Every structure is written in structure tokens, then in C-alpha cells.
Structure 1
Amino acid sequence: MPTLRDLVFSAKAYLATALALIVGFSQNLQNPYWAVLTVYIVLTPPESGAIRSKALFRFFGTIGGGTLMMALTGLFGDQLGVLVTVTIGVIAGATFLRQIDRTPANYLWFSGGVTAGVVGLTNLMQPTNVFDYATARMGEISLGILAITAIDSLFWPRPMTPDFVATMADWREQAGAWVVDALGLTATQSLDEQRRQKVRQGLRDLAKAVGAIDAKAVQLPFDIVAMAPRGRTLNLVRRQIVELIADLAGIEIWARALRHDRTLHTDLGRSLDAVTVWVADAPDRSDPATDTHVARGDALIDELETARSALDPALGRVVVMERGLLSRLVAFVRDWSDLSLALRAIETGRRLPPRLDRMARRAKPVRSVDYLGAALDVAPMVLSMTFTTLLWYFTAWSSGGGALLFSFVGCVFLIGQGQILRSSAGLLAWVLTAFGFVFLYQYAILPRVTDFPVLIAVLGCAMLPFGLMMTMSMAGMLICVYIFAFLGLQNAYAADFNQSLQTLSASLVGLLIAIACLYLCGYDHARFAVRRLVRAVRRDIIDLARSRRVPDRERFLFLAIDRLALYFPAAEQVSAGGPIARLRMIDDFGIGINLLTLRQIEGDVSPHVRSIILRLRERIATSYRSKLAETPDDSALRAMVDADLEDPAVLAEPAHGRLLEALVGMHLALEDEHAPPPGEAIP
């Protein structure tokens, strides 16, 4: 059922549409319906920050796409075949850039590609019209952008920052509860592996916050609040979220290693209780007690580091595990405090402390990019447009240009969305429904309504329900898009029945070709993404092992967590809503982090121990190359790690504390992979 927010969305869209049409018709613009289409697309999602950022991207994308097509037409206007090929190349390039950019900024490439496609493909047979058509479209799109931003600013603006802060508060609450559960794995009653499964599932859910922050970091600086968050502050929040997820993954591994079959050191329980109490006492949102809580965190860090220093790793592997857990808890407390201060700065507009401000300036997001996946997503569009072009060339069909345009439009809204093609018949039904409304408007309403206010009122009878449909289903968005696309391709002031039928036939043929190519090039996006992400993490570990220079910790960490954040939703789709089959991503992450620690201390150890680390690196590279070849065998690597842990030279090394922690951490990850618990084994 429609909610109040849905009704507000529909009302704002109608008001912006009325404003755009009043200006467009009064100024005798070529086709004001392009402005209306812009209103409905830019208004989704309905938050003010998203609308403003999307409007900006739409403006620059439209200007860029239109200008580029004018330049290309000036160069190749007398060579139709070359012009068609170059236009398809521009559209494919823009769509490829859109697919590799996972943030809302990809709308810049989307709008640029759409503008290039509409301007170029609509005027292929009359290239002399490109300049007039492109400038008219730029003006009409700009009108729609101004209309929706003005209406949104004046009527029911919906700020994003409070929702974002509330979402982050919920995330911190979940993370705090997760830490308590994970530390509870050390208790003697932690015999049930189902509880451990629950803890790991919680870690997966927490990792999904990275994608949400990537979206909001683009939109929040445009928010309609007194002090909009700065981009670098949002980058700092993302950085701390990534650091915390890495801390939590480490806590889970080390705490699980110390469960019921281990003998804990007498002082460790006191440290675990102190962390649990500190997390439970964390203030909500931008509470004035935040500074006090952070000061308590600093004192807790000192206490944990003192407890860690008091443990001699030479006393045995259990003590080394306790040191490892305490190290992870120190990092967790520090990162938790930094995140609290960053979120307070976002909510209140206060400046960051100098130390965090310096971190924020360096906190550039590192994201995983799958170029092959983007190319496979673009392939059906290129195939569809190429086939339609050949059909047009060999049949000399008068509406071939229109079919080419709708072949492009049919693909551009559907690529990368594997679930959209469940019902091709339904998709065609929405197109026919949209065209039915266009016919009704052009031949039953427009000729009989001569007063503009009455026309706006009549249009409201359709636009208000359409606005509600857009918020409730994909079908509503497709109907709105095709209605105003059909209107935009025809004369805005006089209806031509033959042109309307040609547009309908061209759209249906182009859409059928697009659907056929999408089916032909279709593949299981989720399974493909899972396999690619797993292979990417394993290649990263090979690079860590073989690199001549010591790799950058933050780059590996941020890239690995970003891939984990992408992996979990894809793995859930593969498992069809059931338990996620663990494809060793968390274990591989543990191997990588501990290998990175070995690389960082490699230059500070004796030559003999350095040679031990070098042999271990070579073995890790060999093991992970076998995993890439789908012939995994970690027995030799496990044996080497266990032998190194017993090596007297390692135990006698002055820097043996961090060295032993890294080796034990690697041992735990390999042991976990060797014996997966029930429910996580791969079928």
C-alpha cells in the first residue's frame, strides 16, 4: 500500500512537471516532455541530497553527451556508416564506465550515454539537425533539473543526514552486540557450532555497510541541512568501518581459537569483561558523553596493552593466542572511538580533532573494479545495436533509426539486472500500456483541451497515480519512462498518426531485439561475481607473497574488505536465500593479514629467520596458485607453518612477539579451512 512518503513523492513530481510544462509551452520549446522525463528520473531516490547530486550529474552528463555528438557529427556527418559505428562506440564506452563505477556518480556516465544515444540515433538520417536537436534537448533537460530542484527545496524537502546517522547508530549497536557474542566464544559453554555460524553471519551483515556508505558519500555533501557533511569526513567514516570489520574478523578468529578446549590465562577474562562493559556503555548518537567515552577508551587501550606486554609468548601457543586477541581488541577500541568522533562531526557539524582531520585527508576510498564483468554487461547492448543496424541497412526500413534507438533504450535500463528478464511478456505489456496512454493523450485529450490550466489538471489525473507506481514497482518506472520517451520523440504540439504507428513498431522491434540479446548474453551474475571475487582475493595474496617491496597495508585491507562487502550479497543470491556457502573468503583474508605482518617485520629479523619467512612466502604463493588452478592443497603450507612455530630460531628471535602472533594467526586460518564446521562445508 502507498505510504505518506510515496504520496509526497508523487505530489512533488506533479508540481515539478506542471512547472516544467508551463515554462516549456510558454517559451515554445521544441519538446518540453524531455523536461518531464528528467523530473521523474532525477526524483528517484527522493532524498534532497540524492536529488541535488543526481541533478548535477544529469546536467553535466547531458551537456557532455550532446556536445560530443555535435562534434562527432561535424566530423563524420557525411559518412553514415562511420557515424553509426562511432555513436555505438560512444554509447558502449559510457555504459562501460557506468558499470565499473559502483557509486551514484555513475549517473554522470549514464546520462551522457543516454544523451549521446538519443541525439545521435534520432538524427542519423538528418545529421544537419543534430545541432538544433542537441541544444534543444540540453535546454529542456536543464529546465527539468531546475524544476525538480526548486520544488524539492520549497516543498517537503527530505534531508538524508539524519537517516544516515541513524543507520550508522544501528550499525554500531549491531557491531557492539556482535563483539559481545564473539568474545563469548572463549567461554566453556560455547560448544554449539550453530552459535559460531550466527557470529559469522553477523560479520557478513556488518560488511554490507561499506556499500551503503559508498552511495551516501556521494550524495550527503549536497544534503539540505545547515551543515552538510564534508566528503573527506564521510571517507573517514568509510575508512573506520573498514578497519572495524577487519578488527572484528580478527577477533572472531582469535576468540574462537581460545574456546572451550583451551586453558585461558587468568587475567584475560578481566580484559574481555572490560571491553564488553565499555562497548555496552557507548552513548547513542552525538551524546555529550562521547568525549568521556573516548577518554575511557584511551585508558582501556593502555590497560589492554599492559596486559598484552605482561604475556610472554615463549610460554606457549595459548599465550600467543591471548596476545593476538588482545592486539585485535586494542585496534578495535581505537577504531571504535575514532568512528564515534567522526559520526558526531557529521551529525553536529563540529570540526574533527586534528589527528582525525589528518586521517580524513588521506582516507581515499579503494574499491574493487571488475572490468570483465562490466564488459560482459555491455556486450548485449553492443550486440543488440549491431544487429539492429544491420537489419536497418539490409532492409532499408524507414523506421530503422527508431528501432536502433529503442534497442539501445531497452538495454540501457536492464543491463546488469539479471532478475529483470523473468517476464519478457510483462516487459512488452508495460511498453504497450505506455503507448496506449500516449495515444489516449494525443488523440483524445490534447485536441479537446485548449486551456492550459485544464490540461495540467487533466494530466495530474494520470501523473499522480504514475508517481505512486514508480515508488512501488519497477513496472511503474518503465511505464513512466516509455510514456515520456514516446512523447519526447514526437511533435509536442500536433499529433501525427503515421509517425505514432512508426514509433510504436520501431520500439517493439527494437525492444524484442534487446530482450533476445539480453537472453543470449545472459549469465548468472551472482555466481560469476562470487568466483571473480574469490579469485581476486587469492591473486592479492600471491602478490603479497611475491612483491619485492613491502605492500601497503591500508590498500590491501581496504580492497579486501571491499571485496568481502561485494561477496556476501552475491553469495546470498547464489545460495537462494539459504545459508551462505563459505568459499574461504574470511580464511583467505586472515592469511593475507598475517602474511602482511610478516612482510612488515621481515627487515627487522635475523638473516636466518628472514630466510624462513622467504621460504614461507614462496610456499604461500605456490599454494594459492594451485587454488587459482582449482587444485587446492594446503597440506604442505600447514606443515611448514607448524614447523616454523616450533623452530628454536623463531622462538629466540628478539621480535618474536609479532612474529609468533602472525604465524599462529596463519595456523588458525589454515586449521579452520582444513576442518570446516558443519553447515559451512561447500557441497
Structure 2
Amino acid sequence: MPDAPVLWPAPMTRARWMALGFAARTALAALLALWVAMWVGLPMPYWAMTTTFIVASPLSGATRSKAIYRVIGTVIGAAVAVALVPALVEWPLLLSLALALWSGGALAVSLLDRSPRAYTMMLAGYSALMVGVPAIDRPEAVFDIGAARVTEIVLGITCATLAHSLLWPQSVGAALAPRLRAWLADAQAWRENALHGAGPQATERARRALAVDAMDCAILATHVPFDTSHWREASASVQALLRRMLLLLPLLSGLSDRHAALDERAAQGAPDGVWAALLRESHAVRARQAARVLDECEALLAHIDDPALPTPMTAAERARPITLHADVGFALLSGLAATMSILLCCAIWILTGWADGGVAALMAGVFCALFAAMDNPVPMMLRFGGAMMGALPVAALYLFVLLPAVDGFVALALLLLPATLVAGLIMAHPRHGPVGAAAMMGFANALALQETFQADFARFFNANLGQVLGLMVAVGVTASIRTIGADAAIARLNGRLRRDLVGLARAVSPPDRVGVLGRATDRLALITQRLGDEADGTDGAALGLHEVRVAMNIVTLQHVRPHVERKLRLALERVLRDVATGFERSDRQMPPRLLPRLDTAMRLMIANPESWDIPGEDILTGSPSEGLAALVALRRNLFPDAPDFVAETPA
């Protein structure tokens, strides 16, 4: 499926021309793949044409990244089918079970990785069906079928990659750069507001939206190593920039919180005691850190544009990827839905003796795989399937009226050109892109173009009836066992975030800050996306940045803990244990003993300033009071209405 950046504004602007260029490249790739497949005599040339639409993306780097992993996945899937079919062909039910389990298992594994690598296992899953299902009634031909499918799909991928890389390529870097600059401008405005109250106060939702934008940039950046521009060589710098963007979210959120606390105290005329001084110091620490990280972001962005400029990136962080959220339970349910859908279609196929019933099993696997990452795939399955079915009347017109009069490939290409161009234009639309790909899949599969023309109505009807059955089974099974609403998805993400906080607080060794912030920010982004236009005060919205700040402060204390004197270390361990106990509760209610233990740890840290430094190489290294600032922040985050901290224990 294509990644669809905004390419479709009106009127006829540069972006609209880009959309037309994408459609032209995709149509050319499809016709080239079809011609080569027919020229070399492949049995199913239309698979090559269909593949060009499946892998196409308006960004050339995204097309290339998908292409590589799809080739690998297709080869793996074909190899699995070649191994399974001869061994189990005498036991159709067992063979169906093996293919279904492989497809569902591969889908589940693919959902644990949200980078382009996920295409490898997803394709490995349903490619086994593409090869195995047609070979069930002729197992002796399974290797030939597998080789043909791999060749056809690799041919389609190659043609798409060449067309999108050589003809008016659209760089991932060109799409990513303005988004990064806009994000940094918003972050800078947030900092100025937290420091000086300058400009309109951003809403909590607007700030959470920065998490969504940051993760969108992180996911788009996964295609940078495959780009056609100089950004490809700067992929390490891009990742370094993204890591600092993740760090800015809790820093700016903490800075804003301290600013609000100080303003509130001033408005109430609260005494200027130790706690006020600590809040000011925490505000100053976060301000220095945010300024430093923002400066490094600007320097990295300038270095990406001009590699001759210096970079603040350290050698140690070059190999530190951003970790994204993965839900094992969700992935297993998706795999189970695919397995059950395929098995049910296979049972109908075997019990009825329906010649084209295997199409239903194949399409059920494809439908389950394409939309498995969604909370509720059913509406998109129906929309996608509806677009495929909607293309059938056009395919019937071509097959039974127009194509019989065609002689030669040039005439065939001219006849197919309007349909391929229209599909490409729809695919370039940011909202309707999947509809174009679905319509082209339905159109090409229904035509089933081969080297010699065949217009068989019985085959046309049965094969497309199989697609309808596969869609209905996939929708029914998915709706029964896998669909969850937005509220349930938010609750699930919040539960995972809470369990992560417990794990961080109970960790034996200091966790990796980048990995922690990557997962926490990704979950915040996923929560924000599901909130829609809800008000800022909803339960799901209220957690968000607060818990990302808590995660960062826990990690900071874990880094400080091994390097302080014994009494302070024990105090920090008690604090972390109590934090874990609080987040283990579904209501996140902290134990009452945590507040005095926090105060005790703060007194010990104030008395031992040599323990404030964080050892090791880190983005925050160099702030002499980071450890104390983390305790102040944790007290403020977990007990915002508590009485002021006092430096000495009351007699």
C-alpha cells in the first residue's frame, strides 16, 4: 500500500503536477512489467502488473525500501510453500492448517516491527498462499508455480523501483525536511512560552500533537536509507535529530509545568522558601537542557543540508535506533484472525469441491494482512473490498467487449493506459489512496491477462465470487475476535505505558534513555491519534506527556543510583520501589509513604552535591543538578498538591 503524503491540493499547483507524475510513473511501470512478463512467457503476467501498484509510493525512497523487503518476503513465502505442499498434499486439511498457521504466524511477527522490515514477514505469509493454493491439485508443479510467482512479483517490484527512481523521483528528504523544520519551530515557540509567557498559550492537545508529528517523522525517516537524495548518506544524522526531538517533549513539558507552578505560587503569594528555590532551579535546569537540545537539533538539520558543517552527534549514539511500541497480544490476535479466516475458507473449498474456492482462502489471507495494524480493520476491509468489486464491471467491459478486438501489445497498452492512469491518480490522493490500489488489484485480477487471450465468463464469475467470499469471511472473523474500539485501544496503550513505568522503576541496571523515550512517546502519539477531537480533560488525554516526563525522571534516577553513596542509594531505591507499587495499581494511586521518602532523598542529595552528576555519555551530560531536578520533577508530577518541601525534617 502506498504511503500518501499530501499531494492533492487544488488548483493545478506543483503538488498536483507531482500527483500526475506519480500516476504516469506507476502506469508506465505497470505496462512495462506486463510487457516483459508476456515477452518471457510467464504464466500469470497480471501478477507483475498488480505488484507495481502494490509497491508504488509517491516517495521514491519508500518505494525502494518496500521493494527490497517485499522481494525477500516473497522468496521466503515461496520456499515455505515448496516445502509444505509435497510433504502434506495427501492430507488436504493438514496442508490447509500448515499454510494457515504459517500465514497467521508470519503476520503476527510482522506487526511487532513498524519499520519497512515488516513487509518481509507479511509478504512471506501470504506469498505462501499464492504459491501453495494453486499447487494443491498439482503438487508436482509447485516449484514451477513458486518460481513463476517469485519472478512475476520481483519483475513488478523491479519495474516500479526503476520507474519511481529514474523518472521525476520524489525524495523522502524533500518531504521530511519541512516537517522537521516546522516541528522545531513549534518546539521553540513552546520553549519561549514556558520561559517568558510570550505568545498564545498552546493547548495540551496541541502539545501532544507534537508527539504525533515526531513519531510520523520517525516512521517516515525509516525510508531515508533508501532515498534518492543526499539524505541517504545522512541517515545517522537524521536519527540523531529524531532522538533529540523525543527528548525535547518531556523537557519542554517539564519546563512548562515548572513555569506554571511558579506562576501559581506568585499569584497566591506563597512564601519564597526552599521548595520555591528548588522549583526555580528545576525550571532553570530544564531551560538549559531544552536550549541545548534545540541548538543541537538546529545544528543537525544544518549538517544534513550541508555535510561540511559540524555535527553534535557523538560516535556512541550512531548505533542507537529509536524503539517503537509493539503489542504482542494485539499481534497474536491478528495472526489468529488470519489463521481462522484462511482455515474457514479452505474448509468451504474442500467440502464443496469448488474449483475456484482456493481464491477465497488466498484473498482472506491478503485482506487480514493488509489492515491488521488497525484497531478496527473491518471498515477499511469493506472499503478496500468494495473498491475491488467496483472495478469488476469495468474489467468485464474490457474482457468481453474491448479486448477481443485487440491485436498486439501496443494496442493493449493504449487500451489499458486510461485505467492505469486513473488508478494512479486516485492512489496519490492522501485520503483515497487505498481505493485506487484496490480498484487496480480488482481490475487486474479480474482480467487475468495472459500471453494468449481468454474470455471465460465461468472463470470470471467463480474467481471473483471467491474474492467476495474471502472478504466476507475475513470481515466476519476479524469482527468477532480482533476488533477493538478507540476507548479500548487507549486503555490498552495506557496499560502498556503503566507497565513500562513499573518495569523502569524496578530495573536492576540503568535503562537506555533513547529506547524508553521512543516507546513512551510512540504510545503517547498513538493515544493522541485515537482521541480525535476530544477535550483535553478526558482520562486518556490527561495521562500523556505527564507519564512521558515520569518515565524520563525514573530513568535519570536509575542512572544516578549506582554512583552515589550508600545512604542516598538506598533512599533512591525506596523511592523507585514505591513508584513501581503506585503504577502497579490500576488507579495509579501512589502509596502515602512515597512523599516523605521523596523528601528524604532530596535532603540527602542536597547534602551530597557531588552525587548530582550523571556518569556516562548522554545528551544531558553536563548538567550538575540533573539528579536533584529529577527528584523535584517526580515530586511535582506525582504529588502536585502536596505541601512545600522543607529542607530539614521537622522535630
Which bracket does the TM-score occupy, shorter chain normalised? 0.7 to 0.9
In the TM superposition, what is the alpha-carbon distance from 1:174 to its structure 2 partner? 1.0
Unaligned runs of 5+ in 1: 265-313, 676-683
In the TM superposition, what is the alpha-carbon distance from 1:53 to its structure 2 partner? 1.5
Please, which of 84, 95, 98 is the counterpart of residue 86 of structure 1?
Answer: 98
Which stretch shows the higher mean deviation, 202-211 or 425-434? 425-434
Q: Could you tell me which residue of structure 1 aligns to residue 391 of structure 2?
A: 434
Please, which of 516, 520, 539 is the counterpart of residue 476 of structure 2?
Answer: 516
In the TM superposition, what is the alpha-carbon distance from 1:522 to its structure 2 partner? 4.5
Deviations for 1:78-133, whole angstroms, at most 9, x for unmatched residues?
A: 43222221111121122112222112332222322232121112222222222111
2:199 is equivalent to residue 231 of structure 1: no
> SS of the residue aligned with 2:453?
coil
CA distance in 2, matches of 1:519, 1:253: 42
The question of whether the paired residues in 1 share the 8 Å contact of 2:104 and 2:334 is answered with no
Q: Could you tell me which residue of structure 1 aligns to residue 5 of structure 2?
A: none
Q: Could you tell me which residue of structure 1 aligns to residue 638 of structure 2?
A: 670
Please, which of 355, 358, 375 is the counterpart of residue 401 of structure 1?
Answer: 358
CA distance in 2, matches of 1:109, 1:351: 40
The question of whether the paired residues in 2 share the 8 Å contact of 1:14 and 1:460 is answered with yes
Which stretch shows the higher mean deviation, 609-618 or 132-141? 609-618
Q: Could you tell me which residue of structure 2 aligns to residue 475 of structure 1?
A: 435
Deviations for 1:137-184, whole angstroms, at most 9, x for unmatched residues?
A: 222222222222222233222222122112111111111111112224
The question of whether the paired residues in 2 share the 8 Å contact of 1:587 and 1:670 is answered with no
Please, which of 100, 111, 135 is the counterpart of residue 123 of structure 1?
Answer: 135
The question of whether the paired residues in 1 share the 8 Å contact of 2:30 and 2:159 is answered with yes
CA distance in 2, matches of 1:659, 1:241: 21
Give the length in aligned residue pairs.
612
- TM-score (ref. length: structure 1): 0.81
Q: Could you tell me which residue of structure 2 aligns to residue 291 of structure 1?
A: none
CA distance in 2, matches of 1:377, 1:35: 28
Q: Could you tell me which residue of structure 2 aligns to residue 144 of structure 1?
A: 156
Which stretch shows the higher mean deviation, 414-423 or 33-42? 414-423
How many percent identity over aligned positions?
26
CA distance in 1, matches of 2:27, 2:102: 34
> SS of the residue aligned with 1:104?
coil
Amino acid at match of 1:356: M
2:418 is equivalent to residue 461 of structure 1: yes
Please, which of 268, 286, 300 is the counterpart of residue 342 of structure 1?
Answer: 300
> SS of the residue aligned with 1:493?
coil
- TM-score (ref. length: structure 2): 0.85
The question of whether the paired residues in 1 share the 8 Å contact of 2:195 and 2:287 is answered with no
User: Kindly tell me: are residues 564 and 502 of structure 1, through their superposed partners in 2, closer, same or farther at Cα, counting changes over 3 Å?
Assistant: same
Please, which of 431, 436, 446 is the counterpart of residue 486 of structure 1?
Answer: 446
Please, which of 625, 630, 637 is the counterpart of residue 584 of structure 2?
Answer: 625
CA distance in 2, matches of 1:650, 1:231: 40
Which stretch shows the higher mean deviation, 211-220 or 425-434? 425-434
User: Kindly tell me: are residues 57 and 324 of structure 1, through their superposed partners in 2, closer, same or farther at Cα, counting changes over 3 Å?
Assistant: same
Q: Could you tell me which residue of structure 1 aligns to residue 40 of structure 2?
A: 27
> SS of the residue aligned with 1:157?
coil
> SS of the residue aligned with 1:246?
helix
Which stretch shows the higher mean deviation, 167-176 or 471-480? 471-480
User: Kindly tell me: are residues 505 and 110 of structure 1, through their superposed partners in 2, closer, same or farther at Cα, counting changes over 3 Å?
Assistant: same
Deviations for 1:278-308, whole angstroms, at most 9, x for unmatched residues?
A: xxxxxxxxxxxxxxxxxxxxxxxxxxxxxxx
Amino acid at match of 2:103: I
Q: How does 1:371-382 map to 2 (within 5 A)?
A: 371-382=328-339
The question of whether the paired residues in 1 share the 8 Å contact of 2:324 and 2:519 is answered with yes
Q: Could you tell me which residue of structure 1 aligns to residue 561 of structure 2?
A: 602
Q: How does 1:185-334 map to 2 (within 5 A)?
A: 198-226=202-230, 228-262=232-266, 316-334=274-292
Q: Could you tell me which residue of structure 2 aligns to residue 562 of structure 1?
A: 522
Which stretch shows the higher mean deviation, 126-135 or 21-30? 21-30
The question of whether the paired residues in 2 share the 8 Å contact of 1:181 and 1:199 is answered with no
In the TM superposition, what is the alpha-carbon distance from 1:635 to its structure 2 partner? 6.1
In the TM superposition, what is the alpha-carbon distance from 1:606 to its structure 2 partner? 5.0
The question of whether the paired residues in 2 share the 8 Å contact of 1:53 and 1:222 is answered with yes
Please, which of 59, 62, 68 is the counterpart of residue 50 of structure 1?
Answer: 62
> SS of the residue aligned with 1:416?
coil
The question of whether the paired residues in 1 share the 8 Å contact of 2:59 and 2:171 is answered with yes
Amino acid at match of 2:548: F
Provide the alpha-carbon RMSD of the alignment. Answer: 3.2
Q: Could you tell me which residue of structure 1 aligns to residue 171 of structure 2?
A: 159
User: Kindly tell me: are residues 360 and 79 of structure 1, through their superposed partners in 2, closer, same or farther at Cα, counting changes over 3 Å?
Assistant: same
In the TM superposition, what is the alpha-carbon distance from 1:642 to its structure 2 partner? 6.7
> SS of the residue aligned with 1:592?
helix
CA distance in 2, matches of 1:592, 1:226: 35
User: Kindly tell me: are residues 328 and 5 of structure 1, through their superposed partners in 2, closer, same or farther at Cα, counting changes over 3 Å?
Assistant: same
Q: Could you tell me which residue of structure 1 aligns to residue 71 of structure 2?
A: 59
2:501 is equivalent to residue 541 of structure 1: yes
CA distance in 1, matches of 2:340, 2:466: 17
CA distance in 2, matches of 1:134, 1:499: 22
The question of whether the paired residues in 2 share the 8 Å contact of 1:32 and 1:492 is answered with no
Please, which of 526, 546, 553 is the counterpart of residue 587 of structure 1?
Answer: 546
The question of whether the paired residues in 2 share the 8 Å contact of 1:262 and 1:318 is answered with no
Amino acid at match of 1:636: P
